[in-house]
Amino acid sequence: MEHSPLGFPPLTVAVFVVLAVSALAIDLIAHHNDKPISLKNASLWSLFWLAIGLGFGGFLYFQHGIEIASLYITGYALEEVLSVDNLFVIMAIFAWFKIPDGYRHRVLYWGVLGAIVFRGIFVAIGTSLLALGPWVEMVFAAIVVWTAVMMLRAKGDGDEIEDYSNHPANRLVRRFFPVYPKLVGNHFMLSSAEVEADLAKPENTGFVFQVKKNIHYATPLLLCVAVVEISDVMFAFDSVPAVIAVSREPLIVYSAMMFAVLGLRTLYFVLEALRNLLVHLEKAVIVLLFFVGFKLALNATDSFWHHGYEISALASLSLVLTVLALGIVASFIFPAKAKE
Q: What is the DSSP letter of 234?
A: H
Note the pLDDT tens digit of each residue in 79-113.
887 777 788 888 888 888 888 888 888 898 888 88
* 177, 218 contact by CB (below 8 A): yes
Note the pLDDT tens digit of each residue in 39-67.
888 888 889 999 999 999 999 999 998 98
Q: What predicted TM-score, i.e. pTM, was given to this entire model?
A: 0.79
Q: Where do the domains of the chain lie?
A: 10-160+219-337
In angstroms, the CA 228 to CA 93 distance is 7
In angstroms, the CA 308 to CA 168 distance is 36
Q: In this predicted structure, what is the pLDDT of residue 218?
A: 92
Residue 311 φ/ψ region, left for φ over 0, alpha for ψ in the -120 to 50 degree band, beta for the rest: beta
pLDDT band at 126 (very low <50, low <70, confident <90, very high): low
Percent over 70 (pLDDT), the chain: 89
> Taking Cα atoms as reference points, which of 133, 138, 212, 214 lies closest to residue 180?
212
> Taking Cα atoms as reference points, which of 69, 81, 85 lies closest to residue 294?
85
Note the pLDDT tens digit of each residue in 165-201.
877 777 778 777 899 999 998 899 999 999 999 999 9
Residue spans of alpha helices (H) in the chain: 10-30, 39-64, 66-97, 101-125, 133-153, 168-173, 192-199, 220-246, 250-277, 281-305, 313-333
